[in-house]
Amino acid sequence: MNDQYHLETLAVRAGTLTTEFGENSEALFLNSSFRFKNAAQAAARFGGTEPGNIYSRFTNPTVTMFQDKLAALEGAEQCVATASGMSAILACIMGICSAGDHIVASRSIFGTTVQLFTNILKRWGLEVTLVSLTDVEAWKAAAKPNTKLFFAETPSNPLTEVGDIVQLAEVAHAAGAYLAVDNCFCTPALQQPLKLGADIVIHSATKYIDGQGRVLGGAVLGNKVLIEPVYAFLRTAGVTMSAFNAWVFVKGLETLQVRMEAHATRALALAQWLEQQPGVERVYYPGLPSHPQYALAQKQQRLGGGIVTFEVKPRAGQTAQEAAWALIDATRLISITANLGDAKSTITHPATTTHSRVTAEARAEAGIKDNLVRIAVGLEHIEDLKADLQLLTE
């Protein structure tokens, strides 16, 4: 679709395929395979000389609509959809890297991503060096002759650190490497890494792209040269998205812009309120002037996003973890779950959930303290969210 249209219009209109029945809403194709007119057409489809659907493991019209719509929003040439956010990261690496290659990654990334990088990939001959997301010089120093990929998550999980995508891209390219950015927290509604110099964008569509906590999915986006090997891996390995999940994501993308604006508006209001509460030691939110990378976030992101993280002040006789758990257990409205990006606000204790498999030393290096709490601000009324956190006001 013509890129002259605004993002909101692309979210509603881009990527739509219409059958002979003339449906106005995207069709859901739940079939596993597709028929060919004759043997010659089957051969042409399998040989890649004729475009068209073959088998839903790697070609499905509903999945194609999701891929094309998300690509339009990110400004990418190509998108491949995966079964989950983690499978998107795995597919990216398996498609681009080989045994003996080196990856430089931020240590401020999702706990399961840390496990993938430091444990599983190591067994397959890939070397990974973790550095500070915000220290550009550390990325430069970590690069080696065999460095193939820089991997950053910005804003980071859970502390919402913001990495300078423009500078990281320059350092990566100078080292002969690609820059991949996990854009899960912002989505293309608030940040478009490819336009800032990144080569690859990765999504856990499970989060804000769905927006209602319904299904799992992921995506890898970039130019055709980079994404084709990722697609080739997916075609063979089969960690691909189901048609039903793709249909849910297609409908989620239609409201992405208005939802992200609503999440960010409420998150900023909650972050400002939290900074004033006696039970809070520190608040992390890119939209606050107190955030270390506030100026960069203002330049790089359209809004601060929907994630607010803060440190709870322990009361007399409480350990740091006890203080965090007491707050979480006192909530009645906010859902206690590690998922995020839902219309329902969620609350979690990163040290014992999302980053529980990361060593205590690694958590300390990443700044994840035992009194740290993460809230993914949903779409409820802000005053109701404040009331649910009343323990912080006492």
Distance CA 89, CA 93 (A): 6
pLDDT band at 365 (very low <50, low <70, confident <90, very high): confident
pLDDT by residue (tens digit) across 281-340? 999 999 999 999 999 999 999 999 999 999 999 999 999 999 999 999 999 999 999 999
Q: What is the 3-state secondary structure (H, E, C) of 314-358?
A: CCCCCCHHHHHHHHHHHCCCCEECCCCCCCCCEEECHHHCCCCCC
For residues 82 and 237, the answer to whether their CB atoms sit within 8 Å is no
Tell which CATH classification among 3.40.640.10, 1.10.8.60, 3.10.290.10, 1.10.10.10 matches the domain 7-254: 3.40.640.10
What's the pTM?
A: 0.95
Looking at residues 190-218, what average pLDDT do you find? 98
For residues 309 and 274, the answer to whether their CB atoms sit within 8 Å is no
pLDDT by residue (tens digit) across 263-284? 999 999 999 999 999 999 999 9
pLDDT by residue (tens digit) across 152-172? 999 999 999 999 999 999 999
The angle subtended at Cα 366 by Cα 272 and Cα 147, nearest 5°, is 125
- The Cα-based distances of 294 to 21, 151, 285, 297, 322 in angstroms read 50, 22, 8, 5, 30
Looking at residues 256-265, what average pLDDT do you find? 98
Topology of the domain comprising 257-393: Aspartate Aminotransferase, domain 1 (3.90.1150)
Q: What is the pLDDT of residue 2?
A: 59
pLDDT band at 1 (very low <50, low <70, confident <90, very high): low
Distance CA 167, CA 136 (A): 7
276 CB contacts (<8 Å, ≥6 apart)?
none
Distance CA 344, CA 360 (A): 30
pLDDT by residue (tens digit) across 238-253? 999 999 999 999 999 9
Q: What is the pLDDT of residue 4?
A: 82
On the CB side of 313, how many CA atoms lie within 13 Å of its CA?
Answer: 15
Amino acid at 34: F
Amino acid at 293: Q
Q: What is the pLDDT of residue 3?
A: 66
Looking at residues 338-364, what average pLDDT do you find? 93
Q: Among residues of the chain, what percentage have pLDDT more than 70?
A: 99
pLDDT by residue (tens digit) across 108-154? 888 889 899 989 999 999 999 999 999 999 999 999 999 999 999 99
Q: Is the pLDDT of residue 14 over 70?
A: yes
pLDDT by residue (tens digit) across 197-207? 999 999 999 99
Tell me the domain boundaries of the chain. 7-254, 257-393
Mean confidence (pLDDT) of the chain = 96
Q: What is the pLDDT of residue 222?
A: 98
Q: Is the pLDDT of residue 262 over 90?
A: yes
* Paired sense of beta strands 102-106 and 372-376, if any: unpaired
For residues 238 and 87, the answer to whether their CB atoms sit within 8 Å is no
